[in-house]
Chain A
Amino acid sequence: GQQLNQSPQSMFIQEGEDVSMNCTSSSIFNTWLWYKQDPGEGPVLLIALYKAGELTSNGRLTAQFGITRKDSFLNISASIPSDVGIYFCAGNILSGNTPLVFGKGTRLSVIA
């Protein structure tokens, strides 16, 4: 079945540093999504990618949909304490009613 490998599993960084995390899949995806989850809350969509090669920014966040359609990365520039949380990549092969497949998450800790 579909699998998403997300890395790193956790990161400890200093405030102001840049962060990079990525996901790879065993299958070709048509959609890549990046979510952030705070403790006790549901995931919140950060960036959605719909085309191979697409590079999209949302403030200090930048994500790209890999050319092979099997990978995506998320970069966070100049991290701040409120960036702390768990970041999930997610994707699906087909549009319509197919559910998302999630990566296992990257737990980000920012040291002030």
Chain B
Amino acid sequence: GAVVSQHPSRVICKSGTSVKIECRSLDFQATTMFWYRQFPKQSLMLMATSNEGSKATYEQGVEKDKFLINHASLTLSTLTVTSAHPEDSSFYICSARDRLNEKLFFGSGTQLSVL
């Protein structure tokens, strides 16, 4: 089946540093990828919609300058958490929509811990 690879699976960083998370669709092309954030025992909250070749669309309350999204190819989207703070610690999950059948597949998530 379709696979979405998300890397890294876990990252610990110091406050003030930037962290990049990659989301790759391995066997399909995705014109659209979505980035979610999930706090412990909570549901997935959409942060932004990433469109290949254009600017991402951010949900209300999500700072675009803090959460930089780049979707430079049909198989790769990246989320960069800039100047990370402890409150940015969370589980981040990407999903990719197959451009051929519109099915949605999720990555395995990235657990970010900011010290």
* Contacts from A to B (Cβ < 8 Å): 33, 35, 40-45, 48, 88, 95-97, 99-100, 102-105, 107
Contact = CB atoms under 8 A, between A and B. Distances in A.
A43 B108 CA distance: 7
Interface in B30-61: 31-32, 34, 41-44, 46, 49, 51
Nearest to B108: A42
A96 B105 CA distance: 14
Contacts of A44: 106
8 contacts: A48-B103, A88-B43, A88-B44, A97-B31, A97-B49, A97-B97, A99-B46, A100-B104
Nearest to A1: B60
Given A41-B109, A95-B102, A100-B104, A105 B43 contact: yes
Chain B contact-residue range equals 20 to 34
A40 B42 contact: no
A99 B107 CA distance: 15
- Interface of chain B, helix or strand or loop or mixed? strand
- Interface of chain A, helix or strand or loop or mixed? loop
A12 B32 CA distance: 38
Contacts of A104: 42-43
A40 B109 contact: yes
B77 interface: no
A59 B111 CA distance: 31
B6 interface: yes
Given A97-B31, A99-B46, 10 more contacts: A40-B91, A40-B109, A42-B95, A43-B106, A44-B106, A88-B44, A97-B51, A97-B97, A100-B46, A105-B43
A104 B38 CA distance: 11
A85 to B, nearest CB: 13
A104 B104 CA distance: 19
A40 B9 CA distance: 9
A77 B40 CA distance: 28
